[in-house]
């Protein structure tokens, strides 16, 4: 906050070059970009997911199983959960980087949410495939 970035006497870099990458994340245009790309993909996927869930409550197990097992629903479910966990992980990363100021806790949390996101996405994909394969 208070300290100005110190400029070496022979620093040839422009001011813009020096401040780049000095936000709380240190680097990460890729993070920003993928957050947007996954957000865009999730707009139709979320609407579809709500539509799918609305059909489920009044169905018994066998009917719910059949509805979820159609190839299109299996594909969209895998897309929704994979991109959802990915986007969620990116969002949590931004929150952790902004609010957790102890470096080692920050690192532990950043790694933990990545592990959990991969486990969650894989578990969802496997479950969706299992439901699909049980019927078709």
Query: Which residues lie near other proteins (CB under 8 A)?
Result: 36, 39-40, 42-43, 46-47, 50, 54, 57-58, 61, 64-65, 68, 77, 81, 84-85, 88, 91-92, 95, 120, 123-124, 126-128, 130-131, 134
Least distance in Å: CB of 75 to other proteins?
14
Spatial CB neighbours of 106, under 8 Å, sequence gap ≥ 6: 96, 97, 100
Smallest separation, CB 67 to other proteins (Å): 10
Q: Which is nearer to other proteins, 64 or 100 (CB)?
A: 64
Nearer to other proteins (CB atom), residue 16 or residue 134: 134
Q: Which of 95, 86, 91, 93 is nearest to 121 (CA)?
A: 86
Give the DSSP per-residue string, 61-126.
HHHHHHHHHSHHHHHHHHHHHHHHHHHHHHHHHHHHHHH--SHHHHHHHHHHHHHHHHHHHHHHHH
Task: Give the C-alpha separation, 79 to 125, whole Å.
Answer: 9
The tokens 């018994």 sit on which residue?
60
**Choice between 25 and 39, CB closer to other proteins:** 39
Closer of 59 and 107 to other proteins (Cβ): 59
**Whether 21 contacts 27, CB under 8 Å:** yes
Residue 16 C-beta: closest distance to other proteins, Å:
19
Pick between residue 7 and residue 24 the one whose CB is nearest to other proteins. Answer: 24
- Residue 93 CB, nearest approach to other proteins (Å): 11
């Amino acid at each position: 906050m208070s300290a100005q970035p110190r400029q070496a006497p022979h620093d040839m870099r422009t001011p813009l070059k020096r401040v780049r990458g000095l936000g709380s994340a240190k680097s990460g245009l890729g993070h920003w970009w993928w957050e947007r790309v996954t957000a865009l993909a999730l707009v139709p996927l979320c609407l579809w997911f709500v539509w799918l869930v609305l059909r489920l409550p009044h169905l018994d197990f066998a009917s719910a199983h059949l509805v979820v097992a159609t190839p299109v629903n299996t594909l969209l479910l895998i897309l929704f959960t994979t991109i959802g966990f990915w986007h969620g992980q990116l969002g949590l990363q931004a929150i952790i980087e902004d609010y957790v100021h102890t470096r080692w806790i920050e690192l532990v949390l950043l790694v933990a949410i990545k592990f959990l996101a991969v486990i969650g996405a894989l578990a969802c994909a496997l479950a969706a495939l299992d439901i699909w394969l049980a019927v078709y």
